[in-house]
Amino acid sequence: MADADPVAVVYGVPAHPSVPLAVVALEPTVEGLRTAAARAVRVSRRGGTVAWILDKSLPLATAEQVRALAEGAVIGGYDGRRWRSGEPPPAVERFVICGCNEALAPVADRAALVARWTNTARELVDAPANVISPAGLAERAAKFDHLVSETVDPVRAGLGALAAVGGSSPIPPRLIVLRHAPPRALDTPRLALIGKAVTFDTGGYFLKPQSDIVRQKADMAGGAAVVAALGAIAELGLPLSVTGFVPACENMLSGSAIRPTDVITTAAGLTVEVTNPDAEGRLILADALWYARRAGATHIVDLATLTGAMRAGMGDLYAGVFAPDESWRDEVVRAGNASGDLAWPWPLHPRYRTLIDSNVADLRNNAGKSFGFPIVAATFLQQFAGDGPWAHVDMLGPALLDDDRGDAFGPGASGYGVRMLVELATRMSGAAAT
């Protein structure tokens, strides 16, 4: 399916000769149906209605088919060309699943809701950096219904790492906090979702090459996923306390940018020697991790487009998941794979810890070695994760797609992480209620 568009539009159906019929090649799997529905919607962008007849011969339960079709239809309706002038192109108005009885309507509605919020994350990542700046992201998040939002000044809050990285830009850094605290939620667990939001990353004094710097508006994809996941969780009304913490800043090249050999003091009190100003994501996440624990989080997941080596190793399909608690790591991996945000467990051995020893500070933010980049980054974050389950998701590969993978998304932002986090929160809600 990745080699050619698996959709052909034909005319000439005897009963309705003017009505187009989309013939879609698909694999008889959830992913195959999701992709087929998305492609059918994408090729039908002339307004009107798309009707899909359920195929009872497929080796999938009807509910699985409905969920995949509803999700694919919404994902396929996303159009990243919103920055063009003039009237927007026509879009499909309705996607009708024929043969879906009323009992399955909640399945379709939930899938469509999560897909809609996935598209919100895609829109945030695809948006230019002069629109979704730290200020722009905070303003957008503050408009979400059913959530309590707060913007924290990192200087006043003592978030020294976030203040240092964001101090390179004329746009002040901020910690965006979004809270979903329904009255019927139990006191525990309290889930914290942390998303890296470097809305543009030049690499600072380790300036990125031209081929890489043009992609750096997407270095806030983890933050976008957390913001959109909180929106979905709140709209679903999950009976679980969930708080999003999004450290947002720009990493610019300027007279106030952090320099190689600078030593900064993090919110946790640990000092860090900056051996690589382009390893800034782990610095701002360190402060957010400390802040989340202090706010009472019992379980934490952070998402970040953190290391290019993850993309080199896993391609554009899988994210890597790290955690000292393997059971929590596996919970995150299972939630990702069940939702379609594919994930793979990575090791986090204590022997890597010595690689971030510094001669002048408590830690250094980069090992200075030519190996183990994703694991070293996760090891650094572990020093700030505190007590209790914590998992780190390095999602650089699937966050922004250079090419069409042959699935529901096409090139551009994928909204990776939204479906994973909503699925994780849903599972935790069910477990807490039993």
Does residue 129 contact residue 199 with C-beta atoms inside 8 Å?
A: yes
Eight-class DSSP state of 103: G
The single residue of 67, 122, 282, 419 carrying the catalytic annotation is 282
Q: Where are the alpha helices (DSSP H) in 79-177?
A: 105-126, 134-142, 154-157, 160-166
CB atoms within 10 A of CB 130: 11
Does residue 420 contact residue 341 with C-beta atoms inside 8 Å?
A: yes
Closest listed residue to residue 192, CA positions, set 433, 432, 425? 425
- 208 an active-site residue? yes
Distance CA(379)–CA(186), nearest Å, equals 31
Distance CA(63)–CA(77), nearest Å, equals 21
* Alpha-carbon separation of residue 127 from 57, 58, 138, 148, 400 (angstroms): 42, 38, 14, 24, 12
End-to-end CA gap in the chain? 42
The single residue of 140, 174, 208, 405 carrying the catalytic annotation is 208
Which H/E stretch holds residue 285? helix 281-294
Alpha-carbon torsion (215, 219, 220, 222), positive or negative: positive
Token pair listed for 174: 């901020």
CB atoms within 10 A of CB 292: 27
* Residues designated as active site: 208, 282
